[in-house]
């Protein structure tokens, strides 16, 4: 089990700034995020979009803000556990918390900070009746082992990079492969589109403008699907594997099972410490709620600063906290590596 | 101007629109279940609506970014639009939209 001062759920801008505020107080942090890189919504949803309400930065993109925060927290050496979901929270016999991830990591810490935004990014599930029954057997939202798809009749739906990349990668090992998309156009890298068109011209895959309307099979094993073409006419298509690629959406996920008080999927906190009603568990950023709450990155930064002060008293009960400014404190400047 | 919005249960809501606001903002403000995860940046496709065909033609054509982003919407139909890209204006008084499935 990993031991640290503060375990943070999430690695978005507010979680990153929390590392900074904790670091100034000599508190070490470990972060868990389901995405494969830091930045949360900023890098996943709008890396190129300008943000205009970060104090002191008249305009900054989601990616730039993340890059700058990563630079700012570099001196504190926080450890990131990426591509994994915070899946469990339990109290240890010594009073600390144990945060576990779905990849098997276990982090013990006196303080846990939930900075999870609106929750975890998870694949979008198409609105097809009964699809849940096939998930994991015949319906997959990601390819973990390519071998599982050998000699299968594969159906891929979607028009982005994931749909095209897996069409290209699985075509050589599939028995047959059909790609369906609602239009004859793609928002994927041009070379992938060209490659897919080549495979189609060579007869190695089929592409159809269609959408999946119904799944048919038994015991989670898919036998065929009903497709509807551009003309709305429905027809049957035989396949035993279905890979829908419609991007990601945000679901609260396992945080709902952490035993914390929730109000409409948000964690109520006090506004002095941003602590939940469970002692030692804090919530900052979009995931928390309190009277007057605004879902702004800048509000999350403020919440992180106050949370850090309260976290210090839990992590270092016998030490006195002296409030210092980075402009004048030589000890803070030393921590930041600027002196 | 008024927006007539049908929710996922088929219930119709008549909502007062505001010039310059997007249809997504109006629907969200009215408490309708539109998630709009990216906050209106045309970056997530979670404010997907079907526009009534007679109104679809009156809208400014979707940008390339919106057309691409609709690929991430589920159950896309010929009159699908992202409601964060429809700006309220007097000519759209009475526009009918249906919130697409999640």
Residues in chain A whose Cβ is within 8 Å of chain B? 41, 45-46, 49, 118, 124, 126-127, 158-160, 181-183, 185-187, 211, 246-247, 249-250
Query: Are the C-beta atoms of residues A6 and A311 closer than 8 Å to each other?
Result: yes
Distance CA B34, CA B24 (A): 7
Q: Inspect the interface and report whether the beta carbons of A45 and B43 lie closer than 8 Å.
A: yes
- Residue A217: the pLDDT is 96
Q: Is the ipTM of this complex over 0.90?
A: no
CATH number at residue B94: 3.10.20.30
Task: Indicate if the pLDDT at residue A45 is higher than 90.
Answer: no
Residue A307 structural domain: 2-122+249-335
* Residue B69 touches chain A, beta carbons under 8 Å: yes
Task: Indicate if the pLDDT at residue B27 is higher than 90.
Answer: yes
Site of tokens 């978005």:
A12
Q: Are residues A282 and A257 in the same domain?
A: yes
Say which range, A19-33, A127-141, B65-79, has the weakest mean pLDDT.
B65-79
- Residue A157: the pLDDT is 96
Q: Are residues A33 and A87 in the same domain?
A: yes
Q: Inspect the interface and report whether the beta carbons of B38 and A250 lie closer than 8 Å.
A: no
Minimum CA–CA partner of B67 in chain A: A187
Mean pLDDT of A77-87: 96
Q: Are residues A238 and A255 in the same domain?
A: no
B41 interaction partners in chain A (CB closer than 8 Å): 45-46, 49
Q: Inspect the interface and report whether the beta carbons of A46 and B38 lie closer than 8 Å.
A: yes
Cα angle B20, B26, B31; round to 5: 165
- Residue A168: the pLDDT is 97
Residue that is last in its domain, among A246, A261, A283: A246
Task: Indicate if the pLDDT at residue A48 is higher than 90.
Answer: no
Residue B84 structural domain: 2-99
Q: Spell A170-208 as b/e; 16+ CB within 10 A means b.
A: bbeebebbbbbbbeeebbbeeebbebbeebeeeebbebb
As given in the structure block, the two tokens for residue A292 are: 């007057």
Our count of domains for chain A comes to: 2
Say which range, A275-279, B23-27, B37-41, has the weakest mean pLDDT.
B37-41
Q: To probe the interface with A, which of B44, B66, B85 has the most A CB atoms within 10 Å? A: B44
B71 interaction partners in chain A (CB closer than 8 Å): 158-160, 181-183, 186-187, 246
Give percent of chain B above pLDDT 90: 75
Q: Are residues A116 and A198 in the same domain?
A: no
Task: Indicate if the pLDDT at residue B74 is higher than 90.
Answer: no
CATH number at residue A161: 3.50.50.60
Contacts A–B by Cβ distance under 8 A: 51
Say which range, A7-21, A70-84, B29-43, B81-95, has the weakest mean pLDDT.
B29-43
* Residue B62 touches chain A, beta carbons under 8 Å: no
Distance CA B25, CA A148 (A): 44
Distance CA B10, CA B5 (A): 9
Distance CA A337, CA A180 (A): 54
Q: What are A201-260's pLDDT values in tens digits? A: 999 999 999 999 999 999 999 999 999 998 889 999 999 999 999 988 888 999 999 999
- Residue A230: the pLDDT is 87
| A120-123 and A153-157 strand pairing | unpaired
Task: Indicate if the pLDDT at residue B47 is higher than 90.
Answer: yes
Task: Indicate if the pLDDT at residue A107 is higher than 90.
Answer: yes
Query: Are the C-beta atoms of residues A55 and A298 closer than 8 Å to each other?
Result: yes
Residue that is last in its domain, among A194, A222, A246: A246
| C-alpha to C-alpha distances, A300 to A21, A54, B70, nearest whole angstrom | 12, 11, 31
Task: Indicate if the pLDDT at residue B68 is higher than 90.
Answer: no
Query: Are the C-beta atoms of residues A30 and A135 closer than 8 Å to each other?
Result: no
| C-alpha to C-alpha distances, A259 to A4, A94, A171, A268, B2, nearest whole angstrom | 22, 19, 45, 13, 43
Q: Are residues A236 and A320 in the same domain?
A: no
Give percent of chain A above pLDDT 90: 89
Sorted by sequence, the CB contacts under 8 Å of residue A14 that are 6+ apart come out as A115, A284, A285, A286, A297, A300, A301, A303, A304
Minimum CA–CA partner of A187 in chain B: B68
| C-alpha to C-alpha distances, B9 to A129, B29, B50, nearest whole angstrom | 16, 19, 14
| Phi/psi of residue B43, nearest 5 degrees | -130, 10
Distance CA A155, CA A207 (A): 10
Our count of domains for chain B comes to: 1
Query: Are the C-beta atoms of residues A90 and A97 closer than 8 Å to each other?
Result: yes
Q: Inspect the interface and report whether the beta carbons of B68 and A187 lie closer than 8 Å.
A: yes
Minimal Cα–Cα distance from B93 to chain A, Å?
30
Q: Are residues A34 and A103 in the same domain?
A: yes
Say which range, A274-288, B7-21, B28-42, has the weakest mean pLDDT.
B28-42
Minimum CA–CA partner of B64 in chain A: A187
Q: In the 8-state DSSP scheme, what is residue A197?
A: H
Listed residue (A44, A127, A45, A115) closest to A78, CA to CA: A115
Distance CA A235, CA A209 (A): 12
Residue that is last in its domain, among A246, A261, A281: A246
Q: Are residues A48 and A136 in the same domain?
A: no
Please state, rounded to an integer, the average pLDDT across all residues of chain A. Answer: 95
């Amino acid at each position: 089990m990993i031991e640290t001062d503060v375990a943070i759920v999430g690695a978005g801008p507010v979680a990153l700034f929390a590392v900074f505020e904790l670091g100034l107080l000599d508190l070490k942090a470990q972060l868990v995020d389901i995405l494969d890189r830091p930045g949360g919504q900023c890098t996943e949803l709008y890396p190129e979009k300008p943000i205009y309400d970060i104090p002191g930065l008249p305009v900054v993109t989601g990616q730039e803000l993340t890059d700058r925060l990563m630079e700012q927290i570099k001196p504190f050496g926080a450890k990131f556990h990426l591509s994994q979901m915070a899946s469990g929270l339990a109290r240890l016999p010594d009073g600390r918390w144990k945060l576990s991830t779905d990849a098997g990591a276990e982090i013990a810490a006196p303080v846990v900070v939930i900075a999870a935004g609106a929750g975890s990014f998870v694949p979008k599930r198409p609105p097809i009746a009964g699809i849940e029954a096939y998930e994991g057997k015949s319906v997959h939202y990601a390819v973990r082992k390519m071998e599982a798809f050998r000699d299968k009749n594969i159906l891929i739906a979607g028009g982005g990079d994931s749909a095209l990349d897996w069409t290209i990668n699985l075509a050589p090992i599939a028995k047959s492969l059909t790609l369906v998309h609602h239009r004859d156009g793609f928002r994927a890298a041009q070379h992938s589109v060209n490659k897919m068109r080549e495979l189609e011209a060579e007869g190695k895959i089929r592409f159809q403008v269609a959408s999946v309307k119904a799944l048919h099979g038994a015991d989670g094993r898919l036998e065929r699907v009903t497709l509807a073409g551009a003309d709305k006419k429905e027809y049957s298509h035989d396949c035993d594997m279905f890979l829908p690629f419609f991007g990601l959406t945000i679901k609260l996920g396992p945080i709902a099972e952490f035993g914390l008080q929730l109000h409409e999927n948000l964690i109520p906190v006090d506004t002095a410490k941003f602590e939940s009603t469970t002692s030692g568990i804090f919530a900052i950023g979009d995931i928390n709620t309190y009277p007057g709450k605004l879902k702004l990155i800048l509000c999350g930064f403020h919440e992180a600063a106050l949370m850090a002060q309260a976290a210090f008293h839990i992590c270092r009960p016998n030490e006195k906290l002296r409030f210092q400014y980075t402009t004048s404190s030589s000890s803070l400047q030393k921590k930041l590596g600027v002196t | 101007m008024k927006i007539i919005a049908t929710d996922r249960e088929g219930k119709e809501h008549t909502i007062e629109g505001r010039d310059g606001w997007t249809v997504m903002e109006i629907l969200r403000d009215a408490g309708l279940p539109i998630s709009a995860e990216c906050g209106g940046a045309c970056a997530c496709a979670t404010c997907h609506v079907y526009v009534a065909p007679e109104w679809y033609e009156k809208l400014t054509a979707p940008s390339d970014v919106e057309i691409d982003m609709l690929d991430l919407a589920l159950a896309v139909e010929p009159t699908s639009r992202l409601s964060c890209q429809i700006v309220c204006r007097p000519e759209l008084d009475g526009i009918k939209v249906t919130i697409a499935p999640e």
